Structure 1
Amino acid sequence: MRFYLLLALALSPAALSAQIADSTQKVIPGRSNSREQEQKPYVIFISADGFRYDLADKYKATHLLALRAQGVRATSMTPSFPSVTFPNHYSLATGLYPSHHGLVDNNFFDVKKGRGYTIRDRAAVEDPDFYGGTPIWVLAEQQKMLTASFFWVGSETAIDGVRPTYYYRFNDKISLDTRLKAIKDWLTLPEARRPHLITFYLSWVDHAEHLYGPESHQAEEAVHEVDDAIFRMTRIVDSLHLPVNYVFVSDHGMAQVDTTHGIPLPDVIDTNKFIISVGGTMVHLYAKEKQDIAPTYAALKAIATDYYVYLPSETPSRWHYTDKDDRYHRIGDIILVAHYPLIFHTKGMRMIAGEHGYDNAVPDMGATFYAWGPAFKKGMTLAPFENVNVYPLIAHILGLNIAEPVDGSLKVLSNTLKK
């Protein structure tokens, strides 16, 4: 129950207020691009949270449809499992599956550290020990290329001792005008101080879908807000006449959930014997004593009707989420995964209209990938591919050397490039 208390504290009004107070840009002093990096192209890496693969067409996002026609698009992009926000943003940033980079869920427990990670716990979010791999901005900074971030998972943390040169702590209250002005200001800096990689995050679609569902007019309005934001961004950037490439992605899709009944936490789980991490579509059970795993697993298997019950040794291999994959030992000793389109609903939780986190093979979990700019071919459509392949693509465009093995491969997307 300690994890529940930690989560409750993180979600308290006081905690949320403290987290949204900071709206100032952070600048790491003393850095500059090397002469070699000054000659490189630029990439703006954009994520629209929850922007399901079909939403631009479904809701006629005219600007995005026109922009993707000038470059390449995937019919869908497959998120990593679990198909939730923090693991997938960090997979996009590192080229690693969640079990390999350490963010195995939005909320989880680290047995070795003896503490939980939740996405609203500021201390955890800024603790570099939770983050494995080498994010694309760290890779760039290590090779003397400056970067900037208007939000991305991990960008507020000194991973390997490195943050982006220019960054903001997450504060969704910061206006779009302020965000777009920052991009213009960054790209008009003197060449020695100008970032060549900018990460940019928009939450609007995900928020609307959770509250009202992906089929709602509120979701449609949020799609058009994103569409307008990207149009405004491209107009500003185009006026600067720089070789800027855009990679527009989402972290996952979204499903309209069954709101008629939620899945309660099964009674056979002894909450005195397990640390429990509950999400909308997945529950991790961390046994305080290993001898309690087998009988609880057997009891859960005997009653499970609305969810799958797994030991980490038996999860589907295509998830890359087994005990052998779990480099940081953060996956629960027992995992419950909700049947699509049901969700877990414990006492005090609000029933929501839209959710993600299901098996990443569920079509509604499909994410978006569009890319355009001088590096990309035009009018190209790709079959679905895994999101870990975006990292080596961006590294290649920027001319960065990937020193450590990653799960993605440039071969998957190399045919999208002109050279």
Structure 2
Amino acid sequence: MKKSLSVIFLFAILTVFSQSKIDTAQVIIPNRYNNAATIQKPYVIMISADGFRYDYAKKYNAENLLKYSNQGIQAKAMIPSYPSITFPNHWTLITGLYPSHHGLIDNFFYDYKSQKNYAMNKKEIVEDGTWYGGIPLWALAEKQNMISASLQWVGSGSDAGGKRPTYYYPYHEKFSPSEKVNKVINWLKLPENRRPHFISIYFPEVDGSGHHFGPDTEQTEKAVHLVDHAIGELVKKVNDLGLKNVNFIFVSDHGMIKVDGGNPLDFPEILLDKSRFDLYNSQTLLRVHVKNSDEVKKVYKELKANKTDDYEVFLDKKLPKYLHFRTKDDKYNRIGQILLIPKAPKIFLEKGGKTSIGKHGYNPKIVPEMKATFFAWGPEFKNNMVIDEFENINVYPLIAEILGLTITEPIDGKFKVLKPILKKIN
């Protein structure tokens, strides 16, 4: 039988795997080498700062990021995929697929086919590649004789897509940002036949501060500066290596907003019957699985008739098409038939439940605080260019183009969206 999922907050990522022995050792897959053609190709370092809202760099004067992005490419904002949550959007960035298409539809969810729970804080689960659809960029690179490396990006410890990165570290919170920088530099010091040309690196600090203290606080400002300092350190040390054609792409998965945790929304009374419903609550989205499919329309009508002005009720198949989170999109049948979506800053909270000061997950087209960051700089990028908002699915084909990789399976992203930011492409 399926166990009901309790609400677990995103800032729990700061203590992921804390109940098990923490392994800080690097994992190296042996007997992999760049071929001769790869050695001549550019490098891409893809950096994610979790929860780094689209306006944080200017709001908190992140000097290094502003300097580098002003020299290169600065997007007004990047639009996360729905729901605007960490694991779904990191996997979208690395596969070019919407969450409903790659299957990672939340940080915690239930798969009715396998009758198993996915949980972002369970090491054995997040390293099981069967949960993940799509071909992550490191797998795409490795299959085409290009060495890759990852520092704790979502899913990088799994065999999703058929190949792990040649170099990677399991997720933990033991490394400081400066230590992560040094590990990237050590990779770039390797002999050219073993040196990664695609590197992904993850920083959780800004998200943790945003959750615990809120987006408009001294603590979040300090976290932004901490990451910004690490970026400055990384760029300087990379430049000191004298490597040719190293390109940087700085992204985030979502933004952050202060929620009304003091006046949360109660679950509608009808949904408290566990014999009829499975509920999955991320607080900014309440997903309902109706066990008897014949009852869906009846339950929907009752929920709709009794709802308040603080939230919307949707049949999943009637959700706005642009969110790509409808029944037709649900490749793995993991979403549920009815969605209750609170209006920001409202959240759903069960009796006795807890929440955080800051949260995300809302529709980024309606709640601008959900928007993410995109900056890029390096020899492949044009200079001093500001671009309009775009969806994060389009980062994948951009990186594949820079690295000269052939995309082997259909994706949702389109290269044409970001094509104009590259120098050598007309």
TM-score bracket, normalised by the shorter chain, equals over 0.9
Q: Does 1:246 align with 2:251?
A: no
State the match for 1:378 in structure 2. Answer: 383
User: Among 397, 412, 415, which residue is 2:417 paired with?
Assistant: 412
State the match for 1:229 in structure 2. Answer: 230
Q: CA deviation at 1:14?
A: 11
Return 254-263 or 368-377, whichever deviates more.
Answer: 254-263
CA distance in 2, matches of 1:351, 1:6: 9
The SS at the match of 2:270 is coil
Q: CA deviation at 1:266?
A: 1.9
State the match for 1:345 in structure 2. Answer: 349
User: Among 371, 390, 399, which residue is 1:394 paired with?
Assistant: 399
Residues 5 and 337 of structure 1: CA distance in aligned 2, closer, same or farther (over 3 Å): closer
Please give the residue correspondences for 1:9-408 in structure 2 after superposition, counting only pairs within 5 Å. 16-19=17-20, 21-242=22-243, 243-269=245-271, 270-305=273-308, 306-361=310-365, 362-408=367-413
The TM-score, its normalising length taken from structure 2, stands at 0.94
Q: Is the CA contact 2:97–2:413 (under 8 Å) kept in the aligned structure 1?
A: yes
CA distance in 1, matches of 2:364, 2:101: 17
Q: CA deviation at 1:20?
A: 6.4
The SS at the match of 1:103 is coil
CA distance in 1, matches of 2:124, 2:24: 18
Q: Is the CA contact 1:102–1:330 (under 8 Å) kept in the aligned structure 2?
A: yes
Q: Deviations over 1:67-90 (max 9, x none)?
A: 101100100111101011111111
Residues 239 and 209 of structure 1: CA distance in aligned 2, closer, same or farther (over 3 Å): same
| Paired amino acid for 2:157 | E
Q: CA deviation at 1:293?
A: 2.2
Q: CA deviation at 1:334?
A: 1.4
CA distance in 1, matches of 2:177, 2:250: 17
Return 340-349 or 90-99, whichever deviates more.
Answer: 340-349
Residues 410 and 236 of structure 1: CA distance in aligned 2, closer, same or farther (over 3 Å): same
Q: Deviations over 1:367-388 (max 9, x none)?
A: 1000000000110000000000
CA distance in 2, matches of 1:40, 1:12: 35
| Paired amino acid for 1:373 | G
CA distance in 1, matches of 2:353, 2:342: 16
CA distance in 1, matches of 2:28, 2:246: 22
Q: CA deviation at 1:3?
A: 2.6
Q: Is the CA contact 1:2–1:275 (under 8 Å) kept in the aligned structure 2?
A: no
Residues 261 and 6 of structure 1: CA distance in aligned 2, closer, same or farther (over 3 Å): closer
Residues 311 and 57 of structure 1: CA distance in aligned 2, closer, same or farther (over 3 Å): same
Return 125-134 or 139-148, whichever deviates more.
Answer: 125-134
Q: Is the CA contact 1:73–1:382 (under 8 Å) kept in the aligned structure 2?
A: yes
Residues 12 and 5 of structure 1: CA distance in aligned 2, closer, same or farther (over 3 Å): farther
CA distance in 1, matches of 2:306, 2:32: 58
CA distance in 2, matches of 1:115, 1:286: 15
The SS at the match of 1:17 is coil
Coordinate RMSD, CA, aligned: 1.9
Q: Is the CA contact 2:151–2:168 (under 8 Å) kept in the aligned structure 1?
A: yes
CA distance in 2, matches of 1:25, 1:387: 29
Q: Is the CA contact 2:259–2:358 (under 8 Å) kept in the aligned structure 1?
A: yes
Identity %: 47
| Paired amino acid for 1:256 | K
Q: CA deviation at 1:19?
A: 4.7
Q: Deviations over 1:375-406 (max 9, x none)?
A: 00110000000000000000000000011111
Q: Is the CA contact 1:393–1:414 (under 8 Å) kept in the aligned structure 2?
A: yes
Q: Is the CA contact 1:77–1:367 (under 8 Å) kept in the aligned structure 2?
A: yes
Q: Runs of 5+ in structure 2 lacking a partner?
A: none
CA distance in 2, matches of 1:179, 1:20: 20
CA distance in 2, matches of 1:197, 1:367: 22
Q: Is the CA contact 1:51–1:250 (under 8 Å) kept in the aligned structure 2?
A: yes
Q: Is the CA contact 1:51–1:252 (under 8 Å) kept in the aligned structure 2?
A: yes
Q: CA deviation at 1:267?
A: 1.5
Q: CA deviation at 1:253?
A: 0.8
